[in-house]
Amino acid sequence: MKRRHCLKLMAGCAMIPLLPFTESYANNRASTSRKRLILLELSGANDGLNTVVPYSDDRYYELRPSIGLGPDRLIKLNNNFALNASLKQAMPLWESAQLAIVHGLGYPSPNRSHFKSIALWETGGDGNVAGRHGWATHDLEHAYASSHVDAHGIVLGGGMGIFSSPGGNWLSMSAADQFSNRRVVANHTHKAVNDTMALLLDRAKVLKSSLDNISRKVALNKKRVQIHGGDLSDQMTHAVNIINSGINVPVIKLSLNGFDTHDQQTYKHQSLLSQVARAISGMRRELIKSGEWNNTVLLTYSEFGRRARENKSHGTDHGTAAAHFLCGGRINGGMYGTAPDLGQLIDDDLQHTMDYRAVYSRLLNDWLELPSNSFAKFTDDRLNHLIS
């Protein structure tokens, strides 16, 4: 990662909270954990049925006569399911039992608006109750005082909604232009015109301090890597270099856009999944080299799935449930949960079979091992062995 990228990261605080974050928000225990979570947003709504394909179910091909994937476009995982062949570069993770597929993730009373549904996924809400802050922010801020982490989370792609919070150090590299005049803000010494401005300036100084530490650590890393394969691989390159620089950040968010495949889906979707596979494969390769693979878990997520029945434009429309991936050195690979029944559709939509917040609960409790878990009530025993 070049130094100018570090400086962009330093400039890229997408939000400055209007409420103070103090050490009393956290339990003041020093962070000794090296574990981190990478969140990969498949923006636009990934088609789960053409990602993890129920190839043995004739109804799949009845619902998708033109975009259903035949044997030459599949990698069989077992007698019932196959991966889209565009994910072939991710197969070493499956073969080493480090890739998990969780079927049928969704939430009650689904919303098919991109904006509203991604906000629900990123704040832990559902069609009945919306979340107020990023789904992991509360528990992370209470676990780690701001002085004990370089940042609570960093966004390398997409929006900051997943890190929306009145406190904590949540940083964005992707929104760097919003704070291009960083030095003026951080070094402002004039009397603030009101308490709100004073608070904003104080928060800017705190965030600048965090970003200075990150910049220094990345600059000292003499073994920076490059993962090739497009924008997502570039984001993954930054993520791996942040991790390998010893930067203490529990959560990193990436994003790949283009999954809103209403027309001519097949080749668009294959290209997107190929980018995902290249980025994940490159991440695994580099983190194994640096000894950080066992300290890393990646989760994919999307605002919703897509309808089971193809549309007249050889694409798919906004749907509900979908399968998602988790991978990492401590992930017990395999399939979890129950795939939605293609014979029990509602308005051509899949019925979700597991609340997506069950995955959040496991990540907070079993992976990050935080002292609090805002989603404990969604814990699902079917995920008991997901993380070792």
Write down the domain spans for the chain. 30-174+224-383
Write the pLDDT tens digit of every residue in 60-110.
Answer: 999 999 999 999 999 999 999 999 999 999 999 999 999 999 999 999 999
Query: For residue 327, which of 286, 283, 271 has the smallest C-alpha distance?
Result: 283
What is the per-residue pLDDT across 161-182, written as a single tens digit (0 to 9) for each? 999 998 889 998 754 333 333 3
Task: Supply the pLDDT for residue 16.
Answer: 39
Q: Report the distance separating Cα 8 and Cα 182, nearest Å.
A: 10
User: Which tokens is 362 given?
Assistant: 């496991």
Helix H or strand E segment including 301: strand 296-301
Taking only the tens place, the pLDDT of each residue in 191-221 is 545 666 666 667 677 777 777 778 788 888 8
0.85 surpassed by pTM: yes
Residue 24 has pLDDT above 50, yes or no: no
pLDDT (tens digit per residue) in 315-351: 999 999 999 999 999 999 999 999 999 999 999 999 9
Chain centroid to Cα 109, Å, comes to 23
| Statement: residue 26 has pLDDT above 90 | no
Q: What separation in angstroms does the CA of 27 have from each of 30, 134, 144, 145?
A: 9, 19, 7, 7
Q: What is the pLDDT of residues 50-59, one digit of tens each?
A: 999 999 999 9
Is 50 exceeded by the pLDDT of residue 30? no
For 259-314, what is each residue's pLDDT tens digit? 999 999 999 999 999 999 999 999 999 999 999 999 999 999 999 999 999 999 99
Q: In whole angstroms, give the CA distance from residue 9 to residue 169.
A: 13
Tell me the fold of 30-174+224-383: Alkaline Phosphatase, subunit A (3.40.720)
Query: Letter for the amino acid at 68?
Result: G
Return the pLDDT at 298: 99
Does residue 28 come out as left (phi exceeding 0), alpha (psi in the -120 to 50 range) or beta?
Answer: left
